[in-house]
Amino acid sequence: MRPEVELVTLSHVDAVNRTNPWGQDTLRVYIDDSAVPQPLEGTVSTQIGHALNYYNDGGEGATPDGVELVTTDQRIDADIVIKTVRNSDIDDRYYADSEYYGANPDEDRPLERIDHGTIHVAYNVEGETGYIGYLTGYYLGFLLTLESEPAPPWADDEITYRDRWWERAE
């Protein structure tokens, strides 16, 4: 007669409790601006570039140590996809949202590692474009840290999406 074997799953540190919830230092970012009308392509690209540069420059301490965002031309290679859409394509017609997926090797509900994230950001709010970088930055901050209130420039700050938030001194 064989002895009974009990399988035990070891608990892992949840992604929300990690300094870097991704478990890797280089995050590849794909920018899908295919829906943006041609006259706005340059502006959208510039605004998203401000958000990426902000976090690559440390994000006023918000970027996890050693993490770098690099762009890729291949969506399949991306860890994070930034997709520009009409605001009518976002749930409840908000101007941006995000989602993420990852690994959960233990038995609790929270993910232990983030593997992929997507940011949807609207480009068509009555000709306003300054908010694109701001909202992309907000959701990048969330995806990089999983904090419900990402770090500056958003926390306890009077800044608006029209301000040149990426130029602020630390």
| Structure confidence at residue 37 (pLDDT) | 82
Percent of the chain's residues with pLDDT above 90: 31
Domain count, the chain: 1
Whole-angstrom CA distances from 6 to 1, 3, 9, 10, 40 are: 16, 10, 10, 13, 60
Amino acid found at 124: N
How far apart CA 115 and CA 164 sit, in angstroms, is: 31
- CA–CA separation, 79 vs 77, rounded Å? 7
Query: Does the residue 57 lie in any domain?
Result: yes
d(CA 140, CA 79): 12
Q: What's the CA gap between 140 and 47, in Å, rounded?
A: 13
Closest listed residue to residue 131, CA positions, set 141, 121, 140: 121
Q: Which domain holds residue 47?
A: 15-164
Confidence grade of residue 170 (pLDDT, cut at 50, 70, 90): very low
Q: Tell me if 147 is assigned to some domain.
A: yes
Q: pLDDT tens for residues 72-125?
A: 999 999 999 999 887 766 766 678 889 999 887 777 767 888 899 999 988 765
Q: How far is CA 42 from CA 14, 35, 39, 47, 68, in A?
A: 39, 13, 7, 9, 23
Determine the Cα–Cα distance for residues 113 and 55; give it in Å rounded to an integer.
20
CATH number at residue 60: 3.40.390
Summarize pLDDT for 50-81 with one digit per residue, the tens.
999 999 999 888 899 999 999 999 999 999 99
Residue 89, domain member (yes or no): yes
**Whether the Cβ atoms of residue 82 and residue 119 lie closer than 8 Å to each other:** yes
pLDDT of residue 29: 98
State both tokens at 143.
Answer: 């995806």
Going by C-beta distance under 8 Å and a sequence separation of 6 or more, which residues neighbour residue 166? 50, 51, 53, 54, 133, 137
Residue 109 counted as domain residue:
yes
pLDDT range class, residue 38, cuts 50, 70, 90: confident
